[in-house]
Amino acid sequence: MADRAYPADVVIRGGALIDGTGRSRYKGDIAVRDGKIIALGDLGSLSGEQEFRADGLAVAPGFIDAHAHSDTAFTRDDSGASKLYQGVTTEISGNCGDSPFPAAPGCADPWQLPSFSGFLDAFAERGCRMAVNQALLVGHGTLREAVVGSGSRAASPAELEEMKRLLRRDLADGAWGLSLGLEYAPGCFADQRELNELGRVAAETDAIVTCHMRSEGLQIDSALEELAQVGRASGVHVHASHLKLDNFRVHGRAQAVWAAIEKARREGVRFTADMYPYTASSTTLSIRCPRWSMDGGREALLRHLQGPRRGEIIEAIRGHYFSAERAETCLISDDGGLWPEIVGRTLRDVAEELLHTADYAEAAAEVLQRTQAKTWCVFFVMSEEDMLYFLSRDICIGSDGYALPGDPARLSFSPHPRSYGAIAEFFRLAREKKLCSLEEAVRRVTGKPAEVFSLPDRGRLAVGMAADITVFDPAAIAPRATYLRPVQLAQGVRLVLVNGQVALRDGVQTGARAGQLMRRHIRDPLGQ
C-alpha cells in the first residue's frame, strides 16, 4: 500500500477539548484516521487532509441521544438533520417496547423483520444509509405480540419460554438490550413474573432493560417499584425512560421520586434514568383510554368505540384526563393523515369549533374514531420545577424523538420540538439555569450514556475511540424549535464527525451518511 499523503484524515486545532469524563477542559488538537481518534494534544507537526480551526469552541465526543425512536426513520429521510444539527452522532432506539423486530408471523410491513440480525441484513442488502449511528433495543411489546398476540392475558409457560428464546437470540446477535413499554398494549398485559424472567435473559449478557413505566403520574411509586423488582429478581441493569411526573396531582414530588431510585441503588439495584428537558410530553391519544379497551390492539379499541361500550370508554377518558382546562393542554400533532384540520389545534378547539361540543371526553373519542386511533398529541402535563430538579441530577438526556429532515414540507405531521432540540435545550438550560458545569453537561450526553448503554468505543475523546466528534459554541448552542414551529434546526454546532467522516461543516450538513446500525460486542464469561 502506498504511503498516505497525510498522516491524518482530519485534524481539528485549537479547541477546548472536553473529553466526556467530566474532567476539566484543556486546549489542544485532535487527529482522526480511518474512523478512529489517533492523537490528542499539541499536534503542530501533524498534518491532516482536512484541517479545521476550533478556536473559542468546545471539542467534545459526539453526543448520544439516550432515548430515541428513529428505528426506521432512515427509510423516509437519511439526513437525520434534527439530531445532527444538535451534535448527536448516536441514538439509542427501539424504545418503549416497540422495535422493528421480532415481527409477528405474516406481518406485511417490509421493515418489520423476524430478527435483529435480519433487520441489519435488510439495511445492508437494500442499500440504506443514514447520517447518525443507532444502537437498537429489542421491544418487549413487539416480542410479546409476535409470541402471545395482542390479547390481555398472561403468557403461558411455553409462550414465555419462546419469548426468552427470541430475546436471547437477538441479544446474542448484538441487540443492545430489552425495552419495556408498560403503559401501552400489549406490554401493559405483562405481569411481574414475565418481566423478571425476561430480565434474567438480559442479565445473562449484562444487557440493559429500559422501561416506559406503567405510570408516570398517580401510580408512579408502584411503577418505580415494579421496575426495581425486575432488577432485584434478575440482577439486570434497569433504566427508567423519560422520567417525569405527568399529572398535576403529583407535581412537586420529583425529589421523592429520585430518592426512591437512590434507595433502590443502595439496595443493590443498578438503576439509571433518562429524561427530556420539556414540560410537555408526546404520545398517542389512545393512552387516555382504559386498558381493557386495548385488549386486542388498535382494532379492538375501534370496535369498542363503535359499539355498546363506547360510553364506558368516554367515562374512563373523562376520569383519566379531560376537562376544559386539561383539553386546552392537549395539542394534536398527528392525525395519521385522516383528519388534517385538527393538526396543530388543541382538543378544546377541536371540540368547540369543529365538533360543537363542550364534552371534551366525547370529542377525544370522536377524534380517535375518525383517525382510526392514530392520533398523536403533545400534552402539557409537567411542572418546570420538577423538570429542573431531575435535570440537576446525574441523569442521561434523551429526546424521545425521531431523526427527521430539516424541511417542514417533507413532514406530514407536527412533531414535538424535542426531536429538533432536546440536547441543545439541555445545554441552554445548563448554561442559563447554572444546573452544572460545561464539562458535566458534556459528560451527561457522552460518557454517561456510553457507560449506561455499554458503548465501549463512544462517549470519550481518547486514542482508539471511534471518531464521533462534535465541535460547538458553548455560549450559542440552543434550540430554535418551538411547539408551534417545531421543524427548526438547532444552532451553535459548527462541526460534526460521524465515524471519522465530516457530517456537518461550518454549521451546514454535508452529503456524508456515515451512520451505522451498531452491534453490541458481548464478552465471554472469562471477560474476553
CATH number of the domain bearing residue 89: 3.20.20.140
The CATH number linked to 37 is 2.30.40.10
Regarding whether 290 and 340 lie in a shared domain, the answer is: yes
Regarding whether 431 and 421 lie in a shared domain, the answer is: yes
Number of domains in the chain: 3
| C-alpha to C-alpha distance for 353 and 435, rounded to whole angstroms | 42
Regarding whether 179 and 31 lie in a shared domain, the answer is: no
| Domain-embedded: residue 401 | yes
Regarding whether 189 and 170 lie in a shared domain, the answer is: yes
Which of the listed residues 330, 355, 380 is the one where a domain comes to its end?
380
- Closest by CA position to 234, among listed 208, 260, 258: 208
Band the pLDDT of 522: cuts 50, 70, 90: confident
DSSP designation for 401: B
Regarding whether 244 and 99 lie in a shared domain, the answer is: yes
pLDDT at 525 over 60: no
Regarding whether 345 and 209 lie in a shared domain, the answer is: no
Q: What is the pLDDT of residues 447-468, one digit of tens each?
A: 999 999 999 999 999 999 999 9
Q: So what's the pLDDT on residue 3?
A: 59
Task: Kindly list the distances between the CA atom of residue 237 and the CA atoms of 90, 198, 388, in Å, as whole numbers in the listed order.
Answer: 21, 12, 25
Q: What is the pLDDT of residues 194-240, one digit of tens each?
A: 999 999 999 999 999 999 999 999 999 999 999 999 999 999 999 99
Q: So what's the pLDDT on residue 172?
A: 98
Q: Which domain holds residue 297?
A: 283-380
Q: What is the pLDDT of residues 297-352, one digit of tens each?
A: 899 999 999 999 999 999 999 987 777 778 999 999 999 999 999 999 999 999 99
Which of the listed residues 348, 380, 412 is the one where a domain comes to its end?
380
Residue 193: count other Cβ atoms within 10 Å of its Cβ.
Answer: 12
- Closest by CA position to 283, among listed 69, 138, 66, 64: 69
Q: Looking up cell 489517533, which residue turns up?
A: 38
User: What does pTM read for this prediction?
Assistant: 0.93
| Domain-embedded: residue 520 | no
H-assigned helices in 138-211: 140-147, 157-172, 192-204
pLDDT-above-90 percentage for the chain = 92
By 3-state DSSP, what share of the chain in percent is helix, strand and coil, each rounded to 5?
Answer: 35, 20, 45
| Domain-embedded: residue 45 | yes
Regarding whether 96 and 47 lie in a shared domain, the answer is: no
Regarding whether 215 and 139 lie in a shared domain, the answer is: yes
Residue 370: count other Cβ atoms within 10 Å of its Cβ.
Answer: 17
Q: So what's the pLDDT on residue 528?
A: 43
| Domain-embedded: residue 428 | yes
| Domain-embedded: residue 141 | yes
Amino acid occupying residue 332: I
pLDDT at 527 over 90: no
Regarding whether 171 and 233 lie in a shared domain, the answer is: yes
Regarding whether 215 and 123 lie in a shared domain, the answer is: yes
Q: So what's the pLDDT on residue 526?
A: 39
Q: So what's the pLDDT on residue 450?
A: 98
Band the pLDDT of 105: cuts 50, 70, 90: confident
| Domain-embedded: residue 524 | no
Band the pLDDT of 523: cuts 50, 70, 90: low
Report the range of poorest mean pLDDT among 191-195, 279-283, 438-442, 470-474: 279-283
Q: What is the pLDDT of residues 397-446, one digit of tens each?
A: 999 999 999 999 999 888 999 999 999 999 999 999 999 999 999 999 99
Q: What is the pLDDT of residues 177-191, one digit of tens each?
A: 999 999 999 999 999
CB 152 within 8 A of CB 189: yes
Regarding whether 299 and 172 lie in a shared domain, the answer is: no
| Domain-embedded: residue 473 | no
Regarding whether 422 and 340 lie in a shared domain, the answer is: no
| Domain-embedded: residue 339 | yes
